Structure 1
Amino acid sequence: MAHAHAPAPQHEPDVAESIVHVIPWLIPLAGAILMFLLAFIAVMMG
């Protein structure tokens, strides 16, 4: 009598592990956007 093997449980990717490789691009980009917005607000206010 042959027994069917149960499939191994799939490893779900961790959310933090999936975005770690993006952080070196994300932080400077966010900083640049914030600096641009602050400069834009400063120019428009004054």
Structure 2
Amino acid sequence: MTDPHSPVHAAPAAHPIDAVESVVPFIPFVIPAVGAIMIFLLAMIAVTMA
């Protein structure tokens, strides 16, 4: 058996990069940008139909 106090077991396990964790920092920039694009498109549709 191996020694449970050996340095090999003391290292923390590296977790894989999660897709959600990589996107979360960009949410404060993406949501207002998409909202602005949606408002512009809706206004353009309203003006075109009028």
TM-score tier by shorter-chain length is 0.7 to 0.9
Over aligned residues, Cα RMSD in angstroms? 1.6
1:12 Cα offset (Å): 1.9
Larger Rg: 2
Quote the sequence identity (%). 53
TM-score (ref. length: structure 1): 0.74
Unaligned 5+ runs, structure 1? 1-8
Alignment pair present for 1:44 and 2:48: yes
Residues paired across the two proteins, number: 39
1:11 Cα offset (Å): 3.2
